[in-house]
Chain A
């Protein structure tokens, strides 16, 4: 069975084969024999050539997975090759949106909107502060990644927001 694995811009196809209890994985041109055991809370214990690794996971939005191993954390996007092809076909059919679309600013964590630093229609430069969010007694200023105009402000000062909530749009 084949999977498509994405890390940033890198895309790799990985193949998994099973023979009885034995699993083998072809990754980056290397074929690995792997002994796998599943544990509590979604843990996976791997033995790769006798080297033991215990991995925990945290499923993010969509196909994003965060892997915790030995105090390091890796983020990958993963889907079956079949799903990946289907999605590509759908995107092609739908035309797909350009890379220079609107920039949607979302709350990086749950918190409270303490200050709005811009108004709708206001031009901003890259690095300009847009919204100040307070969480755990700390204020964090969210900045614009690029220049543009504020198209929308979706929250009011004083509002409590969830992580990932839409705050404003710069286009």
Chain B
């Protein structure tokens, strides 16, 4: 395959992922172009990039979703390629097509592959055709309620109603009994309509105690496709991942090989190129079923990078330039264990209410085996317009136990003041017996919500009060010292004055 090296890349994203991508570009000697909304002028990505251009007002639709403006800026700045990060335009086939039409390389899969995997029922169809097991369910979107009743009865309750265009838990309803189906049918369609502008829904069998495990795949333009192990993502709150680890405690080498083989087959079936993730649901008997394919870099990609010792963003750029994958399947040997915790600007004490605002103090953990992918700094105001994730903290260690201890240690070093964060709660999750034993499923956080409450450590109250008082005392002394020095000079010259003569 012909290789055309890039010299400059535009990063069409914000926050930590924009910083993450720019870092690799720097290491590769590539020029970087950031784009930003009015709310992100002060962001880290703008500082790290060589060039930065304003997209528009804060709301995403006026800024990070303005594909036309992004393409225009790429052309004007002389970038050859656009890295979309995750979210925003990363899975938008029309944007990828528009890039190609403008003579720009979209760093991601071909639009046809995105289309094939973009809509859930179509993706299930492709998976089935490639002999990839899918969760039993309706063959496609369901037109009328009586049909939903018929299929749900056939599948047996409980069932899941899901939006065909869905994602992020929207337009999703668990239905336990036939009597509840009518209300769930209306609710799911209404929610799907408002979230995606598409009210088509389909049915799936509800899996008991499901785990969410995904396989990282990577393909180059020459048709080589590999997989890089799994990521266990069952620690979720309201269908949002919170803690991810690799390897999974329930995946043994045989199961890993089978899941990997299936994931590679799913990718090849749609002519996949670049980084992709095949998500599976795994039931309590360790049967796995295709859920969906994410046609982009995942948020939690660092844990895969840890155990394989690779830089997936570098791979994305190399593959987009037409180079072959740097490693073959047999060369990909994982080492040790990695865990990631997502630090959110939200308050677990107040039902996880978002907590935007200005960060007063920021102390980021460091030390052996620790990586912090952040996009914030002291003095930065977490804007109200975007996702409340402020950083991803990950740890690597030779064993799972050591990785847990290391991540706990690092979380205890993390200090963010000025806004509320979920840091203390994350430690509590890592400490929970279910997490320690590795026997958890996607219901873990909901089931254990009470036990995961995070009261203050009462033993620290006295030191806190002492510190507050002494701080006020020091401030008072400083004020008095200042007013003394502002007073007329004393007639006796100081020793310094004598010496400086």
Tell me the A residues contacting B by CB distance below 8 Å: 1, 3, 5, 14, 16, 23, 25, 27-28, 32, 34, 36, 38, 41-44, 46, 48, 51, 53, 55-58, 65-74, 76, 78-80, 108-112, 135-138, 140, 163
Contacts and interface: CB of A to CB of B under 8 A. Distances in A.
B417 A23 contact: no
Nearest to A30: B462
Question: In terms of DSSP, what is the predominant structure of the interface of chain A?
Answer: strand
A110 B384 contact: yes
Contacts of A1: 473, 476
16 contacts: A3-B472, A28-B462, A34-B470, A44-B474, A46-B463, A53-B467, A55-B463, A58-B361, A66-B417, A71-B423, A74-B464, A78-B469, A78-B472, A135-B354, A136-B384, A163-B357
Contacts of A3: 469, 472-473
Interface string B354-386: 111100111100000000000000100000111
B460 interface: yes
A76 B465 contact: yes
Contacts of B387: 136-137
Interface residues of B, number: 42
B355 A69 contact: no
A111 B386 CA distance: 11
Best-surrounded residue of B388, B457, B469 (most CB of chain A within 10 A): B469
Contacts of A44: 467, 470-471, 474
B467 A55 contact: yes
Contacts, number: 146
Nearest 7 CB-CB pairs, A to B? A55-B467, A136-B354, A72-B456, A67-B464, A53-B463, A74-B464, A58-B417
A72 B473 contact: no
A79 B472 CA distance: 8
Given A41-B378, A56-B361, A69-B463, A136 B417 contact: no
A16 B357 CA distance: 34
B257 interface: no
A58 B360 contact: yes
Given A44-B471, A70-B457, A74-B465, 15 more contacts: A5-B468, A41-B361, A46-B466, A55-B463, A57-B361, A57-B417, A57-B468, A67-B468, A68-B415, A68-B417, A76-B468, A80-B476, A109-B353, A136-B386, A136-B387
B418 interface: yes
Given A67-B464, A72-B457, A27 B356 contact: no
B406 interface: no
Best-surrounded residue of B360, B388, B467 (most CB of chain A within 10 A): B467
Contacts of A72: 424, 456-457, 460-461, 464
